[in-house]
Amino acid sequence: MHNLGKIGGKAAAAGLCLLAAACGVFKKDQLYACPAVFILQDAQNLTRFKPGPGRDIIDIRFEAEIFDFRGKCGFNEDDGIWAVEVELLVQISVEKGPANRQREIEFEYFVVLPAFEGKPGGKRIFTVKGQFEEGRTKLVYQDDVALNLPLKNPNDGGKTEIVFGFQLTPDELKFNRARQRR
C-alpha cells in the first residue's frame, strides 16, 4: 500500500479534495490512481445542542470537527477481478460545551461511495461514543476505516470517489449552512 497523502486543518476546513496520488499495484511497473477522498463541506462540523429550542452558546453540549484524514491504497487482482483497498485514518476534534454536564458525547459520521449509492455498502455509518475526562474540555478521536472497492478495471480507481462527514439531523445541517453564510 502507498500513502494517499493527507489534508491539513485549513485545507480540510475549506472542504477541499485530497488525492490523486498514484498507488502501487503489486506489479512493479504499473501504477494506478487512488480514489479521490472528500470531506462534505456541509457535514464537516457538528454542533450538538441540548434538547429544546435554545440555540445560544450556553445550550451547546459539544462541538466536533473532522479536521484531518490520512490514507493509503493498494490494488489487487484475483482471477481477473480487480479491487482497490483503501485504509483511512479519520481524526475528529471534540470540544465540550456548557450544557454538557455529564461529559458524554455520542455522534455518527458516514462514509459514502457515490458510485455504489443505493447498493449494499454504498453508505456506512459509524457511531462514536465517549466521555470527557474529569477537568478536560477537549478530546481527539481517531478511527480507522477500511474499504474494499470492486473495480471493473484498475484504471477506474482514480475515477472513484469517497465522501465522508457527520451524520447530521435536519436542524444541525440548517445550523451549519447558516454559519457558513456568515
Does residue 166 contact residue 66 with C-beta atoms inside 8 Å? yes
Considering the entire predicted model, what is its pTM? Answer: 0.82
Percent of the chain with pLDDT over 70: 84
Rounded to whole angstroms, how far apart are CA atoms 108 and 122? 16
Question: Are the CB atoms for 17 and 38 separated by under 8 Å?
Answer: yes
Split into its structural domains, the chain has a count of: 1
CA distance 71 to 91: 11
For residue 133, give its domain range. 2-181
Q: What is the pLDDT of residues 32-53, one digit of tens each?
A: 999 999 999 999 999 999 999 9
Of 159, 4, 164, 142, the closest CA to residue 74 belongs to 4
The model's pLDDT over 100-126, given as tens digits with 9 standing for 90+, comes to: 999 999 999 999 999 888 888 899 999
Length of the chain: 182
